[in-house]
Amino acid sequence: MDQSRIDALRALAVSPGSHLIDGQNVAASDGAIMDILSPIDGTVLTSLARGTVQDMETAITSARAAFEDGRWAKQPPAARRKVLLRWANLIEENALELAVLGVRDNGTEIGMALKAEPGSAAGTLRYYAEALDKVYGEIAPTQSDILGLIHKEPVGVVGAIIPWNFPMMIGAWKLGPALASGNSVVLKPAETASLSLLRMAELALEAGLPPGVLNVVTGEGRVVGEAMGLSMDVDVLVFTGSGSTGRRLLEYAARSNLKRVYLELGGKSPNIVFADAPNLEEAAKIAAAGIFRNSGQVCVAGSRLLVEASIHDEFVAAVVRAAEALRVGDPLDVNTHVGAVNSEAQLQQNLRFVETARNEGGTIVTGGDRILTETGGYYMAPTVITGVAAEATLAQQEVFGPVLGVTAFTDEHEAVRIANATIYGLAGAVWTSNLSRAHRMVRAVRTGVMHVNTYGGADGTVPLGGVGQSGNGHDKSLHALEKYTNLKTAWIKL
């Protein structure tokens, strides 16, 4: 990464943003805007259209018209593949520009943002572009005078609601399979992370995606997100975000057209370290990275560290060393390991969790404070808290910040019991040299993803989704295509 190029990009003014509807940049119907603050220094970066219910309805109408006339859905698969591949290439060609814009908006450290945002988004789009003409329907094993065909059809209009932690990566997890399957999409980015997604959507037009096939409406979740959820003309709603919003989306679907709703929600993922882990020093470094990168604003973050009692003190000391070695600061400095927290509100919430943990008997071994206040930005020291009881607030509720709670266990049975004692089930890990124990733990811990002797980094070939209150859908891999297609049976008498 070239610091001087990054600095040149950060010096550019960011033009006020507007919706992207039917291929056009349009302002809110009532002209309202909202200020966008940069978490780097707390200053106003630019403004965005503060969408209205009418704006969302216009975007959905545009998506519906695009779907019905077949301008995208009825193009030959090879033509659609070409457009998506061109889009992926454009994202890569503009990767640094997109990454810097996104970091100015959401605060992720640039090293991670470059890989996880444009890098990952381009890879995801390419994966689904390549897949779209390799997924077949089926012929049913019927009696001989019948032909039973099972078609896979696009659902129509997909509504996608995206959070702020990795907007391009998560956006592409929805857009890739939705568009590859021939649907039209209306995308609603998070209030505090819209800029890079808007730019990415403009590049889609440049790549040849017909106007109206991808529309972006910015604004507040409780206004435009709610309008999307309540629409009678959105067929499938895909969402990544908090459980409380997910609950609302299910209600919206029940109150409107019973649209299918897929939720990717939060987690309280257990990172379980046994005394026989192959390399404890390495495990400690990865455990620290697994919670502190992107200031802990990672859905699969290993936010609960469960350590076998016999190595507890030694292992915690190694994690603390790794945490204190992380350089927190300006996310656009290439030497920064941990950037800014996304917003003042999120930072305050993180600090409240630390206070509660202290009140409930936890010991703050490192961190716990807001730092770098002189910058005007939102920074927090990586925080390790020991003595966290399995039922404590910190062990039960998602912080979505750089706060690691540590709990000791005495044997495998107790480790499983503690690991499964939350409402969540998104991710987890087990560190052990014992192959049988590794397999037993993979089966016993109730999550959508289990890592063994590593944490994070699962690529697009495997699904990501939760169990319990971590959600009900899967992003990534060919399985994600199922959300964006309907099965249709043709029963033919021969």
Query: Which CB, 263 or 289, lies closer to ligand NAD?
Result: 263
Structure tokens at 226: 């709610």
Query: Which CB, 38 or 432, lies closer to ligand NAD?
Result: 38
Q: Is 242 in the site for ligand NAD (CB under 6 A)?
A: yes
Residues in contact with ligand NAD, shown as a per-residue x/- string from 411 to 430 under the rule CB under 6 A: ---------------x----
Q: Among 165, 271, 447, 477, which residue interacts with ligand NAD (rule: CB under 6 A)?
A: 165
Q: CB of residue 481 vs ligand NAD: minimum separation in angstroms?
A: 17
Helix (H), strand (E), coil (C) string for 270-333 = EEEECCCCCCHHHHHHHHHHHHHHHHHCCCCCCCEEEEEHHHHHHHHHHHHHHHHCCCECCCCC
Q: Is 266 in the site for ligand NAD (CB under 6 A)?
A: yes
299 catalytically annotated: yes
Q: How many helices (H) and strands (E) does the chain have?
A: 16, 21
Q: Is 343 in the site for ligand NAD (CB under 6 A)?
A: no
Q: Which stretch binds ligand NAD (CB under 6 A): 114-122, 131-139, 178-186, 187-195?
A: 187-195
- Estimate the crossing angle of helix 95-106 against helix 167-180, to 10 degrees: 120
412 catalytically annotated: no
Query: Which CB, 129 or 162, lies closer to ligand NAD?
Result: 162
Catalytic residue among 109, 264, 308, 398: 264
Q: Among 157, 161, 307, 381, which residue interacts with ligand NAD (rule: CB under 6 A)?
A: 161
For residues 168 and 118, the answer to whether their CB atoms sit within 8 Å is yes
Reduced to 3 DSSP states, what percent helix, strand and coil does the chain have, rounded to the nearest 5?
40, 20, 35
* Strands annotated E in 52-173: 138-139, 146-154, 157-161
Q: Which stretch binds ligand NAD (CB under 6 A): 204-212, 219-227, 324-332, 333-341?
A: 219-227
Q: Among 241, 368, 402, 405, which residue interacts with ligand NAD (rule: CB under 6 A)?
A: 241
* Strands annotated E in 55-125: none
Structure tokens at 24: 């056009």
Task: Compute the distance between CA of residue 186 and CA of residue 62 in angstroms, rounded to an integer.
Answer: 9
What residues numbered 269-288 form the site for ligand NAD, per CB under 6 A?
Answer: none
Partners of 451 in the beta sheet?
429
Q: Tell me how crowded residue 358 is: count the other CB atoms within 10 A of its CB.
A: 14
Residues in contact with ligand NAD, shown as a per-residue x/- string from 382 to 401 under the rule CB under 6 A: ----------------x-x-
Instruction: Return residues touching ligand NAD (CB under 6 A).
Output: 161-165, 170, 188, 190-191, 221-222, 225-226, 229, 240-242, 245, 248, 264-267, 299, 398, 400, 426, 464, 466, 471
Which residues carry out catalysis? Answer: 264, 299
